[in-house]
Structure 1
């Protein structure tokens, strides 16, 4: 298990690393992004300039870059809010995350779950009015939704949403974790 998980916002100097990560088959399978320098700049540049409501976070483990996490309030992205809200209740202030572990040798060993747990804990302090974190995952990405379950999320629904990769069917598993005080 990693000793220290830390993150910081993506900066333009990280684009070459992101491009490399997005080419990796296990990442590209579910993160169907243009990994060319132009594509990475187009997709991640607005976040580095503060033009996006969400966060793109470079996650390091024991000082080594290992993962990417995106975090945002669901209501800041109207299309996502509408699509997700048609399947499950999305309370005001709810946050969503998306993530991947870059090195395939580090998948399936609990790193993704540890990163998710760390981001969840930080979300409760960074977003003090967030009542829940809700994460849709394409149903075929079993490793991802199981990592959420191991991190304390529970499945709250299933339904059709636009998949990231057009080769996937639209069925998504929706998982949620609520703010600890709300569980009492």
Structure 2
């Protein structure tokens, strides 16, 4: 069973270890020193910013991290995304990682995404859509989105997180279910 809870400062050593793992660091191009993890995740853990960081567990064991926010809460992201696809003010976005490489390629990412999408519809009843831009080179990530039911709606050049990446991103969409 997949569950999640808000990330706390006590989780930062685990997050640092995950961010240092080559399969994560390639796509989550973050520093992973204690100071950097505090800088990058501390404000959300303290509730000082609108973005949410969640520790995801599978059968009680931490397996990954999920970030969730309204795209419009981050003006630069909103401007960049809305320049290429219709982006309503209520649009949400997700970002995610699987911490241990042994848990990749097993369908856990798709299950984690599906679960987060379902929770988002409950937690944000006014959200009409979830938009997720993924650097095109990250095939495993966009395949997980497709397996979770997302639809690719566009491909466009966006600023990559990792400077080694080309700017091409695929933009995926989950629409709120009817009814």
Give your verdict on TM over 0.5. Answer: yes
Q: Partners of 2:88 and 2:150 in 1: how far apart?
A: 16
1:47 maps to which of 44, 48, 70: 44
Deviation at 1:91, TM superposition (A): 1.2
Q: Partners of 1:176 and 1:18 in 2: how far apart?
A: 27
Deviation at 1:92, TM superposition (A): 2.0
Tell whether 2:118 aligns with 1:121: yes
1:91 maps to which of 70, 80, 88: 88
Determine the structure 2 residue equivalent to 1:112.
109
Q: Partners of 1:86 and 1:108 in 2: how far apart?
A: 33
Q: Partners of 1:15 and 1:141 in 2: how far apart?
A: 25
Unaligned runs of 5+ in 1: none
Secondary structure in 2 matching 1:51: coil
TM-score w.r.t. structure 1 length? 0.96
Secondary structure in 1 matching 2:64: strand
1:133 maps to which of 130, 134, 156: 130
Q: Partners of 1:46 and 1:92 in 2: how far apart?
A: 23
Secondary structure in 2 matching 1:21: helix
Secondary structure in 2 matching 1:53: coil
Deviation at 1:150, TM superposition (A): 0.6
Secondary structure in 2 matching 1:180: coil
Tell whether 2:29 aligns with 1:32: yes
1:6 maps to which of 3, 21, 39: 3
CA deviation map 1:88-111 (0-9, x unaligned): 000121100000111111111100
Determine the structure 2 residue equivalent to 1:145.
142
Q: Partners of 2:149 and 2:89 in 1: how far apart?
A: 21
Give the RMSD, CA atoms, in angstroms.
Answer: 0.7
Unaligned runs of 5+ in 2: none
Q: Partners of 2:151 and 2:130 in 1: how far apart?
A: 11
TM-score w.r.t. structure 2 length? 0.99
Q: Partners of 1:156 and 1:174 in 2: how far apart?
A: 6
Q: Partners of 1:15 and 1:100 in 2: how far apart?
A: 15
